[in-house]
Structure 1
């Protein structure tokens, strides 16, 4: 079984690597514009169908449930089959299923549409991350993955702002038609411009290293089993990173689901809610484009902890905001926390992928985040119904901070004790 130290410095030729990063990032950017367009209106749309806060949580959780179930399966397939074909199929079905939002007349049917849409979504993100992880050389994991993460954030940032404006001008249906159009365009880009893995020209370093571009060897792929899964999840760093990612997803859900419901209490329109969400992800994307290499140059655990704490504090102080300017400032602070957090997490998962299979690792990682997406809307909806929307943000912030402490005990303290022990042995 290979470790991250066996990965060649440059698995594929530089110009091919650049092309892959651009094509995948562009397709994800375009598709997420469409996906993000429905974020600020979906809660409102479900509300017009008579949904309670709990049922709004169910609508969002249905999407996360199907993604969580399917992502390990599609991730495993990505280690065996052509990733380009899987991404194209996922984007095609994503576009087709978008029509279901328009024709769903009840909350129950809207939930079914979200569930099916989640299955298509499971074929996109983990497969794209596995493709990029397989071409990332040693020491450039954060740089490659931060480009992808920034594209996701830019697309998802532009989407809510556009969706809120389109809803204000043209109503619900126009936003769902736009989702279909953007998903179809992203599918076309993948089909026309993304090279197949089997045709990739390897760099000199990869050829001299046996042609393995950072993936586990064939024996590891063939013997992937539950023991391998256990090894990944119970690894102090890899498992701890997945745990803190699970907690951080609560924060993202809190912003995406409950900000559109919370800000109208202060006279802020859906377009304003879209602006708050868009600023958050735009700033995070810009910072990662500029400083994404930070995850390759510094201790990743030391980056994850302060980033997660900033993330937690910003969530907890959302209820103190009463104006649009205040919400925007706290949203900016939240994005600063993401600068430290996300590049370090993505790079750590690439390292894990070299050991356990890139597709399998990314599928499990995204599935765990998806599991949070199931629980967070439901718990948040129950908390909102019982104690009010303010309590949702406070409790999520406390939860993220508590899990950050657990991560410190799992991933940082054992390494610190090991270094102290080694130091004492030195004569």
Structure 2
């Protein structure tokens, strides 16, 4: 990998780590903060989901814009929006203004992830691209390890402090990114929008639709897991907040090790298509193991298998999408993230409803859905890898 690419990836690692710290920093304090402002469970659910709703609609826009004007300005817009909205969170004392700013945050800061993925596609090739996607995935995983811990620690002193810290860090990062992050899109490639697909029924005819569908299903089932697992673990084996924190730290570290250390070598050896399929099957198997878990050791095993699967599948899906859609990386990454966001919107609602019927139903239905989509898409994923190899 060229020195310039390594340098740029390091900056993107820092940006996305910070973004995910900000995403995770609100998890331990938000229910208490919203309750303090007079809201209940409905307000908490609305606050958590409105970001993904905005991301669903706006991620494709930012991706297409980065194809036209370049990656660097769109990344800086996303980072600036992130800093502004988190500082506003710390200043507000109105529940509905908090929800409105959360929506604004989803609109603007959703520019970061699809544009970062497109940036990586610009500066890397072949197995190096899968490795770089894994490194970025590791940054996001680390952010989700440190974010909740930081939020819980700072929130002990003040509910506003975590927001000011996250917004302040982003503000400090803006001049750094402005100075040191070069543009990755060649000047001659700007103003050319080869991929004109929008969020409509026409997207089912997109060459990458099978990857979009896989991104939706994997994020949908993960969101069902996240929405119900604390309840399931408490009922089955008596886990409390302390045990849950330990488990999620353990899972985050697994994701970091795989995506940051192993994925590049595995991609060179096996290829993206095999890793996507293996990861998807492992994710479904992990959900079945969780159902069968009657002790904390089996529960750790089931969640670890599920995490390994997701860590293999997620970055390699992004990598294959970028390789098979040359010339419109931003548009492809935007659509991919939009489908992932749709899964994160619908997953918690579906998981909660299914859990009310039977505590294992979100996991049975999630596993069956995962197995169905990989059986349906297996040959198409292999064909996309061939297209990517031909170039």
TM-score of the two chains, using structure 1 as the length reference: 0.77
Q: Hey, what's the Cα distance between the residues in 2 that align with 1:21 and 1:177?
A: 26
Following TM superposition, by how much is the alpha carbon of 1:92 offset from its aligned partner in structure 2, in angstroms? Answer: 1.9
1:377 CA displacement: 2.2
In the TM superposition, 1:273-284 aligns within 5 A as: 273-284=244-255
Q: What's 2:377 paired with?
A: 407
1:51 is matched with which residue: 33, 40, 45? 40
Q: Which residue of 2 aligns with 1:62?
A: 50
> Are 1:318 and 2:301 an aligned pair?
no
CA contact (8 A) 1:311 1:334 kept: yes
Distance between the aligned counterparts of 2:358 and 2:227, measured in 1? 14
1:179 equivalent to 2:166? Answer yes
1:86 corresponds to: 74
Q: 8 Å contact 1:161–1:278 — kept in the other structure?
A: no
Deviation at 1:175, TM superposition (A): 2.9
8 A contact 1:86–1:123 mirrored in 2: yes
Q: Note the C-alpha offset of 1:366.
A: 0.8
The answer to whether residue 336 in structure 2 is matched with residue 336 in structure 1 is: no
Matches within 5 A, 1:149-168: 149-167=137-155
Q: What's the CA shift for 1:161? A: 3.1
Report what 1:418 is aligned to.
Answer: none
Segments of 5+ residues of structure 1 without an aligned counterpart are 1-9, 201-210, 416-427
Match of 1:111 in 2: 99
Alignment pair present for 1:363 and 2:334: yes
**Within the alignment, does 1:137 sit opposite 2:109 as a pair?**
no
Distance in 2 between the 1:128 and 1:301 partners?
A: 22
Residues 346-394 of structure 1: CA distance to partner in whole angstroms, max 9, x if unpaired? 2201213315x0111111111111111221122223334x326553344
Q: Is 1:128 aligned with 2:146?
A: no
Alignment of 1:217-232 (within 5 A): 221-226=192-197
Instruction: Give the superposition deviation at 1:36.
Output: 1.6
Q: Is the 8 A contact 1:295 1:347 kept in 2?
A: no
Counterpart of 2:388? Answer: none
Please give the secondary structure, in 1, of the residue aligned with 2:125.
coil
SS for the counterpart of 1:354 is: coil
Cα displacement (A) at 1:77: 0.7
Q: Does 1:26 align with 2:14?
A: yes
Identify which of 239, 248, 270 aligns with 2:209.
239
**Contact residue 222 and residue 347 of structure 2 kept, 8 A:** no
Alignment partners' CA distance in 2, 1:322 and 1:56: 31
8 Å CA contact 2:58–2:107 kept in 1: the answer is: yes
Which has the larger Rg? 1
Change (3 A) 1:107 1:361: same
Provide Cα deviations, 1:388-409, integer angstroms capped at 9, x if missing partner: 6553344333322222222236
CA distance in 1: counterparts of 2:48 and 2:99, whole angstroms: 8
Q: Helix, strand or coil for the counterpart of 1:158? A: helix
> Cα–Cα, structure 1 residues 116 and 326, in superposed 2: closer, same or farther, change >3 Å?
farther
Q: 8 Å contact 1:312–1:398 — kept in the other structure?
A: yes
What is the deviation of 1:334? 1.8
- 1:227/1:80 CA distance change after superposition, 3 Å: closer
What secondary structure does 2:133 align onto?
A: helix
In the alignment, the residues of structure 2 paired with residue 375 and residue 177 of structure 1 have an alpha-carbon distance, to the nearest angstrom, of 30
**Distance of aligned partners of 1:82 and 1:264 in 2 relative to their CA distance in 1, 3 Å threshold:** same
Q: Residues 304 and 17 (structure 1 numbering): CA distance in 2 closer, same or farther, change over 3 Å?
A: same
- Report the more deviating stretch, 371-380 or 242-251: 371-380
Change (3 A) 1:102 1:391: farther
Change over 3 Å in CA distance of 1:58–1:249 after alignment to 2? same
How many residues are aligned here? Answer: 382
Structure-2 separation of matches of 1:46 and 1:151: 28
- Is 1:302 paired with 2:291? no
Q: Distance in 2 between matches of 1:87 and 1:328?
A: 37
Root-mean-square deviation (CA, aligned residues, Å) is 3.4
2:224 touches 2:352 (CA, 8 Å); kept in 1? no
Q: 1:391 aligns with which of 351, 361, 372?
A: 361
Give 1:6's aligned residue.
none
Runs of at least 5 residues in structure 2 that lack an aligned partner in the other structure:
385-391
